[in-house]
Chain A
Amino acid sequence: MRFGQRLLWVLVGCIAATLSASDLAAQSTPVKIGLAAAMSGGSAASGEAIRRGLLIAIDEVNAKGGVLGGRKLELVVRDDEGNPTKGVTIARELVERERVAAVFGGLHSTVALAQVPVWHELKTPYVGAWAAATNITRNGHAPNYVFRVSGNDDYVDKFLVGYATERLRKAKPALLLENTPWGQSNEAGLTKWFADRGLKTVGVEKFNWNDPDMSPQLLRLRQQGADLVVLVANAPEGAQVVKSKAKTGWEVPVLSHWGISGGRFPELAGELSDGVVFFQTYSFFGSQNERGQYVLRVLREKFNVKGPEEVTAPVGTANAYDGMHLVAMAIEQAKATDGPKVRDALENLQGEYRGLIKTYRRPFTSEQHDALTDQDYLMVVWKGGKIVPVK
């Protein structure tokens, strides 16, 4: 060959090599998944639980070859410190600097609500794994980039009301709620769903954080003839409620939102915690399906969790585990990590995912961005410091 021709072939060869090299590089760069949750402070346990659920699912997917032809999933964690402003900052950081394909969210509804505009601006899908405020997923955006595998306060209220009327057969419910936006939104929801069944709440009482004594509120509800108390509170206030109730000597069932699922509740309330019924999205107690057994085993091997009673903040782990699998499926279906494409895939997920909490078939639609509804929740009860499903 003449020199000019040889040069041309060398050039072509170089270009081809470079192209295939970048192709290979693209094939081996990991797909990053973000976690923006409270990893420190009072709610740190919830963030850690979510992280574990995500990691277990990610390891599972990676063991089967990852996504998009061999790319491994990688988790990037940022702490929102329970602070909405910080939440917005880390949201931007995860998308703009870390270039994650999707972000999972944590316990605080205030943070999640503050982040909603960011996901839409940066066109990155977000899957909530805990925060239950209704307006997180029902945020009026179209296309909607916010999804959730967790409780939704509206459904929760419906579920609680259903249990109160059908299982407990109570007709004179009373509400006892914390004096915060969370309490207020649940007050609206519960009132609405009771009205839907033709019932009126006989009384609504509020209390503040750190209140030591709720006897006055309980006494008033008793005077108004309540036969059930629906409670929306966190562990410390919930404990004071049951202690005040015992003090007044009022024997009335207590049905609660998941605020009292925190591990300190049985410690603070002592044996008075027994019998308080509340909702969860999942319980590791009782008989487990295959996924449940698998997750418990990995928790034991990787995180030294000896049994269901040592699983802290179990709903975080369960929600995140299923959520991660759904996102992995969406990425595969979209054949890309591009935000809008993954979002569309999530909204139109093909196939079936036999998950931990349930079997998912078309979990999201353009109208429905909550994978779980009141049909999927379960009722549990505190018994001897353990959470057991209600039969």
Chain B
Amino acid sequence: MGIQLLVTGLALGSMYGLVALGYHITWATSRTMNFSQGQAVMAGAVVAYGLHVALGWPFLLTLLGTLVASALFGVVIERLAVRPFFRSASLAWLLATIACGTIAENVAMLTFGKDARAFPSALATRPVLIAGAGVYPQELLVPVVGLALMGGVQFFYHRTFYGKQLKAVAYNPEAAGLMGIHIPRAVMTAYALSAALAGAAGLLLAPLLNVAPTMGTIIGLKAFAVAIIGGLDSAGGILIAGFLYGLIESFVAGYVSTGAREIVGFAVVIAMLVVRPWGLGGARPTRRV
């Protein structure tokens, strides 16, 4: 049982981490967050279903289409729910992104239907045995791809020039603007990138979770918890927190009860906020004189 729980925990945890990274990216770049990240996960899965299952596209094209569609989702959210409130120093973007997420979910219910649909994958049909425990290859693939994507994002941010521009916007948006960086476009890119990550998570999880319009809501919530635990400003902290959260969930569900799973998970969030609000990887805020 332990192996099964470990694999499931790592798989789910890496997806929480991937989606949570999206919260970090938009927070760092614009001090706003996309509270429809969960629905971006669902959008990715729904688009992937449409392309791969309904239209019969080959997998690589489906992946491309999913990433593009998810990025577009992020751009739309940014335009509708964030940009109008970006400079107003209010928290209106919080409610606006939540509202957009709800709208997206309902649109999906109307078009995709309320029923869960299966996303067939050769990697989720026959289990393989690892030390006597059965796991689906898909469950092994997910954390690997998740780590690769997170690594890719880090590379982009620290090694490419455009990534450094986004870092500059995150560090000091006013100074970044003085360099000639187009701030609204940078924020839009951050939103597109973060939604694309969520969409990728949706595609990876679709064979394991089934595709349904409501699949993203709880994932978005848990990913937010992971972002808090890891530290909104720390990509590394979020990565670790994602895996930790997934493992805690899995082992609690396995050894205690599935009912306790959510309780323990969110209790950890509350504990973190009380004890170390800047998260695992965040820096204690210094008082500026």
Contact = CB atoms under 8 A, between A and B. Distances in A.
A156 to B, nearest CB: 24
Nearest to A42: B114
Interface stretch (A137-145, A162-170, A213-221): A213-221
Given A216-B1, A247-B127, A270-B118, A239 B210 contact: yes
Interface string B99-117: 0000000000000001111
Residue of B210, B218, B253 most packed against chain A (CB within 10 A): B210
Interface string A237-255: 0011001001111000000
Interface stretch (A52-60, A202-210, A319-327): A202-210
Contacts of A270: 118, 120, 125
A124 B87 CA distance: 61
A212 interface: yes
Interface in B222-279: 253-255, 257-259
Residue of A210, A215, A248, A268 most packed against chain B (CB within 10 A): A215
Contact of A248 (B4, B208, B218, B258): B4
B209 interface: yes
Contact of B117 (A179, A215, A267): A267
Contact of A267 (B1, B118, B124): B118
Contact of B254 (A42, A216, A246): A216
Interface residues on B, range: 20 to 34
Chain A contact residues: over half helix, strand or loop, or mixed?
helix
A247 B136 contact: yes
Given A210-B215, A236-B210, A216 B253 contact: yes
Contacts of B116: 235-236, 239, 264, 268
A282 B80 CA distance: 52
B127 A249 contact: yes
A217 B261 CA distance: 13
A249 B134 CA distance: 7
Interface in A221-278: 235-236, 239-240, 243, 246-249, 262, 264, 267-270
B125 A219 contact: no
Interface in B111-168: 114-118, 120, 124-125, 127, 129, 133-136
A336 to B, nearest CB: 42
B114 to A, nearest CB: 4
Contacts of A208: 258-259
B66 interface: no
A264 B258 contact: no
B5 interface: yes
Contact of B259 (A179, A216, A248, A268): A179
A278 B254 CA distance: 28
A290 interface: no
Contacts of A246: 127, 134
B120 A210 contact: no
B26 to A, nearest CB: 26
A167 to B, nearest CB: 29
A352 interface: no
A69 interface: no
Chain B contact residues: over half helix, strand or loop, or mixed?
mixed
Contact of B114 (A41, A179, A243): A41
A98 interface: no
Nearest to A223: B1
B258 A216 contact: yes
B212 interface: yes
A268 B1 contact: no
Given A247-B134, A264-B115, A267-B118, A207 B210 contact: no
Nearest to A268: B118
B8 interface: yes
Residue of A179, A247, A268 most packed against chain B (CB within 10 A): A247
Nearest to A41: B114
A377 to B, nearest CB: 26
A216 B249 CA distance: 12
A211 interface: yes
A211 B120 CA distance: 18
Contact of A268 (B8, B125, B210, B254): B210
Nearest to B135: A247
Contact of B8 (A213, A217, A236): A213
A262 B117 CA distance: 12
A240 B118 CA distance: 10
A119 B179 CA distance: 74
Given A207-B258, A208-B258, A248-B134, A215 B115 contact: no
Contacts of A268: 116-118, 210
Given A247-B136, A249-B134, A206 B259 contact: yes
Given A216-B5, A248-B4, A210 B214 contact: yes
Contacts of B120: 270
Given A268-B116, A270-B118, A211 B258 contact: yes
Given A179-B259, A208-B258, A247-B136, A264 B127 contact: no
Interface string A179-194: 1000000000000000
A243 B138 CA distance: 13
A160 B71 CA distance: 50
9 contacts: A41-B114, A42-B114, A206-B259, A210-B212, A216-B255, A219-B254, A239-B116, A264-B118, A268-B210
Going nearest first, the 7 A-B pairs with the smallest beta carbon separation are: A216-B254, A42-B114, A236-B116, A247-B134, A247-B127, A268-B118, A212-B209
Given A216-B253, A235-B116, A249-B127, 11 more contacts: A41-B114, A206-B257, A206-B258, A207-B258, A210-B218, A215-B8, A216-B255, A216-B258, A219-B1, A249-B129, A267-B117
Interface of A: 41-42, 179, 206-208, 210-213, 215-217, 219, 235-236, 239-240, 243, 246-249, 262, 264, 267-270
